[in-house]
Each structure stands twice: as structure tokens, then as C-alpha cells.
């Protein structure tokens, strides 16, 4: 993985840049000393790290606007950063760029129950939104495993999901409006409290844009009422294949659970040792199925799911009998990533999405790849929507193992695309999948995507080096190809 080569001229201007930024964000809002920059060297993809030129920590939209406008005028690159939990390197800094940290935007500005929404700043953590409204019977549906730490601004940037995204959708399905600041410093509002805004779906364009188009400074999210009943089921299986087939059976039967998660044996054993959730340690694979709604509906659907699981040879079928037990079932899944961190010096978390019917085939092939690469893998993922999260186990201190883990991960993503899936479900492309974009998109596709980038950020100063596999400028996209003295479509006007 290569990032753009740093510009020596910008590196030489570091002192001047820091001083200029200090006039825009006073006090301790600008960090330029080497020790202070260390925490910003990496994000959740910690295998890669670079020291940024400087870090700016604004507190107001006006300050964000001023910083971006100054950076555009002076040709300084900017990397927006939330909590830094990105697993695709989306917030990896640039040596010649400024990190724009949004941690101080941490207020819930308004809770509007009449319109079933909340207006929050981007530095508010995902879980804090639910925490602010749960006493009144409401909650915010998207719930990534890092929800205690990840921020809503980062969720918008990556279109994050979570265990309940199968029934209630990703961030894009629970987002009503945003305030964003463009690289020019212009402040733009998209959407609002209404159900659907008129005109082009620019809110949809911004959601999942990975910090390439603008910086989010305010978010309006949808609130849902808590269901009357919620039950979690533990389904243990003698094989990964049987568990994967059951996932398809459940959806085919017309049952749409609130959550449908899968863990293979390495993952469930690690989670059980870490949390003590009561998982069946004799199982080769585990499904966690949550059903919610009226009590009678939950009882009916639980019985149908149990029948489907038993038909596939399930050795364990348990249904939570209390809220504490339900939360305990989920505690192991929520802690699966740190749990795996206890059994391996390092792990590389992948993120690809496949059609549900391909689960048995893909999981079998991942096991073969694991043997071929000589690296362990623990699978824990959102089975209901086919969003895989294989955790490739390796030791960075062993020569060649990081490179082998990356190659293993790339092969998994190629496999996802080959069976009709996509490169990412919720972690984003960042730098991790950037050079695999050609596996899914052709040159015309990529050029069209980058033209959207150019419309928002013509100088490519926002989060450069991410998402697009070739590092070229917007101006280069507009060049006219001349072949043997002629241009294509000569009747069209040229500007």
C-alpha cells in the first residue's frame, strides 16, 4: 500500500502553516509538536501509520469553514477524523497534510420526539444517542460493534451498520439531514427533519463518501421506538456449512430478524472465554438471532426459527428468557473483536459483502485459503445481510506475516466480488481496498465516481490517496484524447 509522496514544499512550510492555523483556531486547538502528533499517526487499521503535518481541533462550524477555506487557498491537504476507529485506513494521515479532528463537536443539540429525530454534532458517539433517549422509550438503530467509541460523523462517512442493520438499515436509512462544510469553506445543509428532501439525493452521495467530499458538522438522525418485546436465540451447529444454510432458510421463510449474526468456532470460543456469554463450546458455528415486535409475534417467529435450525441439524437451540440474558447473548458478539485480540498478537479485519446463498461456499473457500496461507482466521459477521468480517490472525513481528495477511485478505475480497458481492459493507474502502477497486469497477465507472469528487473538491485536497486506485488530478480527467489528429465526437462544443 502506497500513499501519495509528500510534497517537500509543504513540509518546508510546516511552521508557517501551524502559525496560520493558530490564528484561525486559538488556544490548544492546533497541535504541531512531534509528541502531540503521535496519537494521530494511525486509525483502526493500525498496521499503517504516518505523522501528520499538524492537527487542528475546531469547536465551531465557523472555524471548520475558515480552516478549510485557508487550506484550499494555500494548497494544503486535509484529512477529516472522528474517533479514529476506521478499519480501512479512512483517517490515515498524510505527512504533508493537516488532520481536522472533530472530537470537540460532541453535543446533542436537540431531541425532537414529535418528529422522531435528534440533531447531534458529529463527535457524539453512536451509543450516546441511544443513551440520551432510551429513558423515553426511543433508540438509534445502527449499532456497529465499536458503538461505544465510534462517532456519528464517522458513521456517516462510512455508512456504518451493525447487528440490527438487517431489519432497520444502515446509517443511510436512518439519516435525515446533514450540515457539511465544503473544501471551499462553503457551509451547505442537506435534508432536514422531513421524511424526504426534494431534488437530487445529495444526502445519499455524502453518506459513505469517506471524507472525500466535505466535512460533516451536524447530523439529524431518525429515532425509533423500542419494540414491545425482543428475544435473542442461540443456535449451535455441527458445521459452518449448516449454519450458513440456515441463514438462507430463515430469510427465505419470510422471517426478517432484527439481527442475524454468525460466529465460527475460533470466534465463539474466544468470545466465550472473554465474556462468559453462555455460548455452546461444542458447536462448530453459532447463530445469534434476535426477533422483536409484539410478544405473540416473537413467540411465533421464534418457534419457526427453531424448526428451521433443527432441520439443519442444530445441536443447541436456546431462547433468552429475560432482558439480562438477551444482553448477555449479545455481549459476546459485541466483544468478539477484542476477544480475538487475546488469542493472536495481531489480526487483520476484512469487510466484504456477498449474497446470502453464497455463505456456505465462501466460508468453505476461506477455510481453504487459511490453510494455504498458513494463517488462522476467525469469522464473525452480519450473516443476515451477508456482510463478512473475517479476522485474519498473524504476528507482525514475524517477517512476512503482515504481507501474507494482506494477500489473504485481498483474495477474500476478490472471492466476494466473484460470487456477486461487493468490496465493502460498512468499513469503507479507505486505503485498505483502494487498489482492489478495479476488481469491481471498470475505468469508466471509476472516472464517473471521481468526477463526483471533482465537483465537490476540484483540487483533490480532501482526504487524497483514499478510495481511488490511481492518484491523478481532476484536471487530468478533463483532458481530450486526440488520436491521429482527431478527437472523439468533434461536433460537441469544447470548453
Give the cell for residue 34: 512531534
Q: What is the pTM of this model?
A: 0.91
Look at residue 486 and tell me whether its pLDDT is greater than 80. no
Q: What is the pLDDT of residues 297-327, one digit of tens each?
A: 999 999 999 999 999 999 999 999 999 999 9
Angle between helices 323-334 and 265-275 (to 10 degrees): 120
pLDDT at 481 over 60: no
CB 437 within 8 A of CB 88: no
Residue 104, C-alpha cell as written in the block: 470537540
Cell of 271: 468470545
Average pLDDT, the chain: 93
> Residue 47 — very low, low, confident or very high, per pLDDT cuts 50/70/90?
confident
* Cα 366 from Cα 432, distance rounded (Å): 19
In order of 35, 141, 265, 299, 344, the CA distances from 376 in angstroms are: 36, 33, 12, 39, 9
Kindly tell me if the per-residue pLDDT of 490 is higher than 90: no
Mean pLDDT of 11-39: 96
pLDDT score for 5: 86
Q: Residue range 439-461: average pLDDT?
A: 95
3-state secondary structure of 391: strand
Cα gap 54→36, rounded to integer Å:
9
| Residue 388 pLDDT | 95
**pLDDT at position 88 over 80:** yes
Amino acid 491: pLDDT: 60
Q: What's the DSSP call for residue 253?
A: T
CA distance 155 to 158: 5
Instruction: Give me the residue label for grid cell 426459527.
Output: 305
Amino acid at each position: 500500500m502506497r500513499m501519495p509522496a509528500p510534497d517537500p514544499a509543504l513540509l518546508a512550510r510546516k511552521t508557517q502553516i501551524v502559525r496560520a492555523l493558530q490564528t484561525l483556531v486559538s488556544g490548544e486547538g492546533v497541535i504541531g509538536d512531534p509528541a502531540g502528533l503521535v496519537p494521530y499517526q494511525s486509525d483502526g487499521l493500525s498496521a499503517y501509520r504516518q505523522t501528520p503535518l499538524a492537527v487542528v481541533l475546531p469547536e465551531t462550524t465557523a472555524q471548520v469553514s475558515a480552516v478549510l477555506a485557508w487550506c484550499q487557498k494555500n494548497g494544503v491537504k486535509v484529512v477529516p477524523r472522528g474517533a479514529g476507529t476506521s478499519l480501512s485506513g479512512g483517517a490515515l494521515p498524510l505527512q504533508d497534510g493537516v488532520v481536522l479532528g472533530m472530537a470537540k463537536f460532541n453535543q446533542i443539540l436537540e431531541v425532537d420526539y414529535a418528529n422522531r429525530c435528534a440533531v447531534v454534532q458529529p463527535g457524539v458517539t453512536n451509543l450516546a444517542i441511544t443513551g440520551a433517549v432510551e429513558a423515553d422509550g426511543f433508540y438509534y438503530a445502527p449499532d456497529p460493534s465499536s458503538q461505544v467509541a465510534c462517532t456519528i460523523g464517522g458513521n456517516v462517512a462510512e455508512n456504518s451498520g451493525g447487528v440490527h442493520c438487517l431489519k432497520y438499515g444502515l446509517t443511510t436509512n436512518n439519516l435525515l439531514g446533514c450540515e457539511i462544510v465544503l473544501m471551499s469553506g462553503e457551509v451547505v445543509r442537506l435534508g432536514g427533519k422531513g421524511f424526504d428532501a426534494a431534488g437530487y439525493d445529495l444526502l445519499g452521495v455524502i453518506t459513505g463518501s469517506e471524507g472525500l467530499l466535505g466535512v460533516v458538522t451536524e447530523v439529524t438522525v431518525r429515532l425509533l421506538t423500542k419494540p414491545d418485546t425482543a428475544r435473542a436465540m442461540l443456535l449451535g451447529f455441527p458445521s459452518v456449512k449448516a449454519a450458513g444454510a440456515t441463514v438462507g432458510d430463515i430469510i427465505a421463510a419470510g422471517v426478517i430478524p432484527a439481527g442475524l449474526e454468525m460466529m465460527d468456532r475460533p470466534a465463539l470460543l474466544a468470545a466465550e472465554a472473554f465474556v462468559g456469554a453462555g455460548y455452546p463450546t461444542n458447536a462448530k458455528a453459532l447463530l445469534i438471532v434476535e426477533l422483536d415486535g409484539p410478544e405473540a409475534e416473537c413467540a411465533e417467529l421464534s418457534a419457526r426459527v427453531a424448526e428451521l435450525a433443527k432441520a439443519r441439524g442444530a445441536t443447541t437451540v436456546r431462547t433468552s428468557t429475560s432482558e439480562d440474558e438477551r444482553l448477555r447473548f449479545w455481549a459476546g458478539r459485541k466483544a468478539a473483536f477484542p476477544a480475538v485480540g487475546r488469542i493472536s498478537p495481531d489480526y487483520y479485519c476484512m469487510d466484504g459483502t456477498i449474497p446470502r446463498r453464497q455463505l456456505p461456499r465462501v466460508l468453505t473457500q476461506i477455510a481453504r485459503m487459511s490453510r494455504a496461507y498458513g494463517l488462522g482466521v476467525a469469522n464473525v459477521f452480519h450473516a443476515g445481510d451477508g456482510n463478512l468480517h473475517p479476522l485474519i490472525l498473524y504476528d507482525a513481528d514475524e517477517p512476512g506475516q503482515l504481507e501474507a495477511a494482506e494477500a489473504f485478505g485481498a483474495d477474500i475480497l476478490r472471492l466476494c466480488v466473484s460470487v456477486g458481492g461487493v468490496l465493502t459493507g460498512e468499513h469503507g474502502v479507505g486505503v485498505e481496498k483502494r487498489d482492489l477497486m478495479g476488481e469491481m469497477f471498470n475505468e469508466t465507472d471509476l472516472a464517473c465516481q471521481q468526477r463526483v469528487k471533482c465537483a465537490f473538491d476540484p483540487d483533490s485536497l480532501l482526504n487524497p490517496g483514499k478510495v481511488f486506485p490511481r492518484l491523478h488530478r481532476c484536471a487530468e480527467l478533463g483532458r481530450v484524447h486526440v488520436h491521429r489528429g482527431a478527437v472523439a465526437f468533434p461536433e460537441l462544443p469544447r470548453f
